[in-house]
Chain A
């Protein structure tokens, strides 16, 4: 499959999942409530498994999109700063990014959630509701990978002949970035954003599953976390499999789109 087609397949799959789950979870919730073949939830007998799964999917996807955008934006700012300032600043940004990258997302996310919740308890004026707090935490967790990769991409682009020529003709750094580097970088930024999406969704699911983030409306992870006791007694398949399938489809859509966008924008094409 050509990269362009791969990208469109992935993006259409993501759009279908997001819009479909929003429509079934918010606009027409009676449809999954009435026609769900998986029956009612054990702990919430007034709701069906389909309602809770589809209702959780758009929350997870929305959080993933916003958190992915935030971490990619942070990575872009830091990578640009590193290349603009160079030397000591670049070395320390990269060193810190490598150090941060070696810790698991879930661990840092738990610490940040804990910090945010405690701060909110102590200073109500600073309190963030669970969804914005999760987006901010995921954004702060995910900056290291994009920073490292964007800095490397910028360094590669800066060695291209057209950039060297523009620099030799007296182009300022800001001009070089705006006119010559950014056009070659933007598709890569989009690919990075798409590749951050599943990581953010999975990290959110895991932390919500532990009960550390009390997401309202319920995300997929929170739904599975709150159903834990019922799953133990009743058996997990009826509750777990639909949510698992939806997570896999999100990951498949995002990875196809990221690979397609990156392939279509690679310099060798």
Chain B
């Protein structure tokens, strides 16, 4: 089993060097394709600073942003560049907002699942409308609606508001998914058997159905983390939070090439870490996942 688990982890970890190399070479072909072009299009000093920042023309140049990062040097060509330590601080700020968002998303999901699963009839117009409203609401829209209270008057905490804003759509998505899974499980034979042997509906759901919701809940966590961190880009921008999302958008707008390469890879590594952690938890709580791995 350890071999199959390791192979799954390695497959996921492969994403990190792929993203690192793809983002590096995408940036590397852009700024200074040749000396002649650079003379025509870019000031010589800027072209030279791009070259130095990305390590273009050097052997193993693709490692250059990373060596600068680990030596504590500033990445980027201007004063807006960041060091590894600053990047880590910004990332921890974003992760804190993401974790608060995750907790809120789970609360919304549970409330929605209880509301929708409470009735025995399948969801009607509200069942169609609510996911459409949630999905049709990019994080910047509730952020804009809250912005005057947060930014101008300072009535609300920016971090908590950002977590609230990013949690809305993932919460509804997760709630819809949980409700659908709950309905499917409740209709299965094992629940009917348990109830025919004298268990109440509530006891059958608590004892037999809820443990079977774990796999669906765990499977939804990696896309949920992606949605939360992706949403935090907009929320941080609107509320002026100086965290990772703000850093990334500013790096793109100010053409800080090495910052874009490193930040993209760090972002991918974070999502891979979430995915690996979910896989590990799933192996612990879901015996079917263990059996499948062993069979594979």
Chain B proximity of A145: nearest CB distance (Å):
11
8 Å CB contacts to B: which residues of A213-269?
221, 224, 228, 231-233, 235-237, 240, 243-244, 247-252, 255-256
Q: List 10 A-B contacts (CB under 8 A).
A: A99-B18, A103-B267, A111-B23, A115-B27, A122-B37, A232-B152, A236-B145, A237-B145, A240-B145, A252-B128
CA distance A184 to B236 in the complex (A): 45
**Known contacts A122-B41, A210-B237, A212-B249; A114/B255 CB under 8 A:** yes
Beta-carbon contact of B26 and A111 below 8 Å: yes
Cβ of B152: which chain A residues have Cβ within 8 Å of it? 232-233
Smallest CB-CB A-B distances: 4 pairs: A104-B230, A251-B136, A248-B136, A252-B132
Contact of B242 with A by CB under 8 A: no
**Known contacts A115-B30, A251-B132, A252-B136; A106/B230 CB under 8 A:** yes
Q: Mark B8-32, 1 if CB is under 8 A from A, else 0.
A: 0001001100110001001100110
Q: Mark B239-259, 1 if CB is under 8 A from A, else 0.
A: 000000000110011010000
Contact of A37 with B by CB under 8 A: no
For chain B, what secondary structure do more than half of its interface residues adopt (helix, strand, loop), or is it mixed? helix
**Known contacts A95-B11, A247-B137; A111/B30 CB under 8 A:** no
Beta-carbon contact of B148 and A236 below 8 Å: yes
Contact of B138 with A by CB under 8 A: yes
8 Å CB contacts to A: which residues of B129-184?
129, 131-133, 135-141, 144-145, 147-148, 151-152
Chain A proximity of B126: nearest CB distance (Å):
13
* Number of interface residues, chain B, beta carbon within 8 A: 53
Contact of B268 with A by CB under 8 A: yes
Contact of A160 with B by CB under 8 A: no
* Number of interface residues, chain A, beta carbon within 8 A: 47
CA distance A212 to B267 in the complex (A): 19
Nearest CB to that of B263 among chain A residues? A107
Contact of B69 with A by CB under 8 A: no
Beta-carbon contact of B249 and A118 below 8 Å: no
**Cross-interface CB contact of B147 among A231, A255, A256, cutoff 8 Å:** A231
- Chain B positions near chain A (C-beta within 8 angstroms): 11, 14-15, 18-19, 23, 26-27, 30-31, 33, 37, 41-42, 128-129, 131-133, 135-141, 144-145, 147-148, 151-152, 222, 226-227, 229-230, 233-234, 237-238, 248-249, 252-253, 255, 260, 264, 267-268, 271-272, 275
Beta-carbon contact of B230 and A110 below 8 Å: no
Beta-carbon contact of A224 and B26 below 8 Å: no
Beta-carbon contact of B230 and A107 below 8 Å: yes
**Known contacts A107-B230, A111-B26, A122-B33; A198/B135 CB under 8 A:** yes
- Chain A positions near chain B (C-beta within 8 angstroms): 95-96, 99, 102-107, 110-111, 113-115, 118-119, 121-123, 198, 202, 205-206, 209-212, 221, 224, 228, 231-233, 235-237, 240, 243-244, 247-252, 255-256
Beta-carbon contact of A103 and B226 below 8 Å: yes
Beta-carbon contact of B30 and A122 below 8 Å: yes
CA distance A248 to B169 in the complex (A): 13
**Cross-interface CB contact of A231 among B135, B144, B260, cutoff 8 Å:** B144
